[in-house]
Structures are given as structure tokens and as C-alpha cells.
Amino acid sequence: MSNEVLAQRAETLLGLHKPGDPVVLPTVWDAWSANLAVEAGFGALTVGSHPVADSVGKPDGEGMAFDDLLTRVAQITAKVDVPISVDVESGYGLPAEDLIGGLLRAGAVGLNIEDSVHSEGKRLRSSGEHAALVGALREAADKAGVHVVVNARTDLFLRKDGDEGDRVDRAIARLKEAAAAGADCLYPVGRHDPDTLARLASELPLPINAIGMPDQDDPASFGPLGVGRISFGPFFQAALATRANEILGRWR
């Protein structure tokens, strides 16, 4: 795929992020699920590390190699002609240039980067360290000539890090640093009550990514809270697994 096509897809993906009118990026894991989502009418997708790892028999949390992920991404981009973002977990211990180069070669134009370092005992990066990585990713993408859409994620809520009383404040401060370093979207990953989600959306300077439960949540509930992007994490695959078990159960 040429740089011109990749650059155009990256700009398309970036333009879809509109607070209050969120883009829904179904989380897919292979060419079949990607094609399913595109045929359903979605114009961009995200590749989730957790469902990809499950599909290849590896544990989530960088239990698979970056090359394993890229192989799957390339299969997806060969099948569907829409912008693709990829969850690269905490970066697989690789330099930013290798992450950006690998994604572009596989045909992807966006990424999630989290602040838990799986290769180092799942320690939490400092806010400055995470912002520096976001900045390095932005610089590498700029050098490549493609505005790769960087979705900077914090795991403070998933980890239940520190005192709950100031966790939202700390997440906002952390994500503001990532925004200043060159992120395009901010991902306070976790399931939040409406008031918390609205606060995050109003106080953060960039569109925020919320998790949607595809078989349970009301799609119209996110826009009024100011959300700019919705993805499903592992829950789309899980919902399909539940339905598959119902079908297969009839035949046991």
C-alpha cells in the first residue's frame, strides 16, 4: 500500500473523531470479523490485542509477538478497504520507529498505546515516560509521512491504581501530558458511570475513547456525554462466543 493511500486513510480516520458524535470502531481480530463489520456498514475498524491473542491461542498482555499481530493485521487490510487502527499494547519493548514502520507496512494507520509495561512486570509507566513514548510515536509517524492516529491509553482505572478519590484527577493529568506530546485521542480505559465519562470528555483536550458493550449498551447514550470514539475491546468477540455457545449447545 502506497504512502499516499496510507496518508489519506489516516486523515480519514482522524476526521471521524468528533466529540458528541462518536465514531464507532468495531473491535475485530481477523479478516472474517473485519469483513463482517465492514459489510454491516462501518467505515473504520480497530484490531484488538486481546481478541487477536485469543484467536491464535496466546495470552493477552504481549503473550504474542508483534510479528504475530502484524501478520493478522496484514490479512485484515488485504480484505477490507477502510482505515484500521491497531492495539499495540505497551509497545512490545520496541522502539517507536519499529512500531510505526511495522504498522504502516501492514497497512494500518492508527494505534492504541497503553501505559502498563507487560515486559517489565506490568509496571505502570510514569506520566512523563508515557508522554515521551507518545511523542516518539508521533515523531516516527511524521518522518514516515503518515499522520498515524495515536490513541493514548491509561490503565489507571483497570489497575485501580492508588486512591480512588483522586483517580480521575490523576488520569486527566496523565492524559493531558499525552495530548501535549502528540496524541490524537485519549483512552481512559474502563467502564465508567455517565458522570465520570462526561467529566473526562469535558476536561480532556482531545476526543476520548469509551468502551461500548455491543450487546448491552445503548449506542445513543455516548454522544450526549461528549465521547468521540467507541470501541468494544474484547466484548464483541465475547458476545459472539455467547451466541455460538447457544447454537452449539443445541447439538450436544
Minimal CA–CA distance to 185: which of 85, 102, 94?
Answer: 85
Q: Taking a C-beta distance cutoff of 8 angstroms, is the pair 24, 230 a contact? A: yes
Query: What's the start-to-end Cα distance of the chain, in Å?
Result: 46
Distance of alpha carbon 84 from the chain centroid:
10
pLDDT truncated to tens, each residue of the chain (252 aa)? 899 999 999 999 999 999 999 999 999 999 999 999 999 999 999 999 999 999 999 999 999 999 999 999 999 999 999 999 999 999 999 999 999 999 999 999 999 999 999 999 999 999 999 999 999 999 999 999 999 999 999 999 999 988 889 999 999 999 999 999 999 999 999 999 999 999 999 999 999 999 999 999 999 999 999 999 999 999 999 999 999 999 999 999
Q: What is the mean pLDDT of the chain?
A: 97
- Residues 87, 153: Cα–Cα separation, whole Å: 10
Which CATH fold topology does 3-244 show? TIM Barrel (3.20.20)
Q: What pTM was computed for the model?
A: 0.96
**HEC states along the chain?**
CCHHHHHHHHHHHHHCCCCCCCEEECEECCHHHHHHHHHCCCCCEEECHHHHHHHCCCCCCCCCCHHHHHHHHHHHHHHCCCCEEEECCCCCCCCHHHHHHHHHHHCCCEEEECCEEHHHCCEECCHHHHHHHHHHHHHHHHHHCCCCEEEEEECHHHHCCCCHHHHHHHHHHHHHHHHHHCCCEEEECCCCCHHHHHHHHHHCCCCEEEECCCCCCCHHHCHHHCCCEEECCCHHHHHHHHHHHHHHHCCC
Main-chain dihedrals φ then ψ at residue 110, nearest 5 degrees: -150, 165
pLDDT at 150: 98
The full set of domain ranges for the chain reads 3-244
Joined grid coordinates for residue 149: 492516529
- Residues 44, 86: Cα–Cα separation, whole Å: 11
Residue 14: CA count within 13 A, CB half-sphere: 16
Label the pairing between strands 45-47 and 209-211.
unpaired
Q: Tell me the pLDDT tens digit for each residue of 154-209.
A: 999 999 988 889 999 999 999 999 999 999 999 999 999 999 999 999 999 999 99
pLDDT at 1: 84
Rg (CA), the chain: 17
